[in-house]
Amino acid sequence: MIRIRKHLGSDVSVRWLFLNLFVLYFIYSGSGYKDVAFSDGWTWKCLKRILVSTLRKHLSNTPLIEERVTRAAGKLLELFHEQGEKSFDPARLLDQSIVEVLGRIIFGNYWDVTDPNIDKLIYLNDLGLKSYKDFQVVMFLDFFPVAKYFPVKSHEKIFDTFLPTLEIIRLKLRERKLSFNPQKPAGNLMDALLLSQREAIEENKEEISGLTEDHLVGAIQNMFTAGYETTAHGLTFALAYLIQHHKYQIDIQKQLGDVVGRHRMPSLDDRPMLPLINATIMESLRLGNVVPQALPHRAVEDTTICGYRVPKDTIIYPDTEAVHLDPECWENPKLFNPYRHIDEEGNLITNQGNFYPFGAGRRVCPGEALAKLEMFVFLSWMLHEFTILPEEGQDHPEVRYRRAITQYPSPFKIRAIKRN
């Protein structure tokens, strides 16, 4: 297995290599490569096609998606307002809001936080994603497979945390199948997947016949787990950086005032006219590096990368962070500056070849469009209604980084001051 970096003398991040190896091991043990993230060959092509097509159709229903995102954003503003001007940790509230909107997009009316299974799904997902110490204990399992037979508590905790989430999703999918009507428009992603599967079977029975319930469960689990944590962490990074660099808040709020005014909330129609919001999101993803390393890839044939021989079946880890912090790709790469994503005419630069927080190529994250949409609504609504300041009596918080499966900022507190 290799990991390509431009600067070979820099830190190889061995713990991340081991962690990703374990994630690979876990997915194989849990779902047998029947999801989008870790499947390969025919399975991946077929499932990815259905998922991408489904997402594209579902996201094209702008009124439905915007209603669900703005409802959650409105609840978040209420939670901010309830804090008064006291200091509070924004990460927990952002987590709650993002999981709410993602849950409703995926499950629709089957998403009910008072349902014990939904409550358990949220709890287990959050617990597993942040159990870094336990991951450290079991990350060697991929090198010593026999260790899985040893009574290691961390091993049991990780598997007892993640595997039940698959069964909860399976239960919800089966419940929906009982009343699913393919003649009605899909109101959520779960319905849309069922509808796409049915249409694919009718179009080409032989090609699609291998897709099972496990594949749909795996796809839904990918969207839920990857979608909620990464989006929430990206927004938390954005708030942390905007507190450190208050001048950008002023610029954003001026642009919001010019485009939106004070008598309504920003909408998705405003996105093209609010480049600084989008640039701030891009810069938060670049500097925060929520996913410092992309998912492992496998070489399907003998090849070379930067002059290195890469034999077939070699596992390769694209190092996103190395590119995003490379001084040859970015001027002052460790400095937060949204304007690096805006050209001289004030337009958003979207085609830079050195920016890929969602991956690139055929394996690009299928949830990219949804994540950007959510982040735009949440960030624009927060800054439209509030000015975000550091904890009372404290200077601008230093952004410290923590890593579990993803990277996120260490806890910090803010004050949300209502704007006039």
For position 135, what pLDDT does the model report?
A: 61
Tell which residue, 283, 217, 301, has the closest CA to residue 245. Answer: 283
The pTM (predicted TM-score) of the whole model is 0.83
pLDDT per position as a tens digit, 197-241: 777 777 765 555 556 788 788 888 888 877 778 899 999 999 999
pLDDT for res 407: 85
What's the chain's average pLDDT? 81
pLDDT greater than 60 at residue 5? no
Task: Band the pLDDT of 27: cuts 50, 70, 90.
Answer: very low
C-alpha dihedral, 318 to 319 to 323 to 325, nearest 10°: 170
User: How far, in Å, CA of 331 to CA of 320, rounded?
Assistant: 17
| pLDDT for position 18 | 43
Which residue type does 22 have? F
How far is it, in rounded angstroms, from Cα 134 to Cα 156? 10
**Mean pLDDT of the region 79-101:** 91
pLDDT digits (tens, 9 = 90+) for 114-159: 889 888 888 887 776 666 666 656 555 555 656 666 666 766 676 7
DSSP one-letter string for 301-318: S-EEETTEEE-TT-EE--
For the cut 70, the answer to whether the pLDDT of residue 26 exceeds it is no
Residues 335-387: tens digit of each pLDDT? 999 999 999 999 999 887 889 888 877 777 778 888 999 999 999 999 999 99
Classify domain 14-418 at the CATH topology level: Cytochrome p450 (1.10.630)
Long-range residue pairs from 173-179, CB within 8 A, at least 24 positions apart, any chain? 173/213, 173/216, 173/217, 173/220, 174/213, 175/110, 176/110
Amino acid 396: pLDDT: 75
In this prediction, residue 136 carries a pLDDT of 59
Is the pLDDT at 32 greater than 70? The verdict is: no
Task: Name residue, tokens 């009574």.
Answer: 151
Which helix (H) or strand (E) element contains residue 417?
strand 414-418
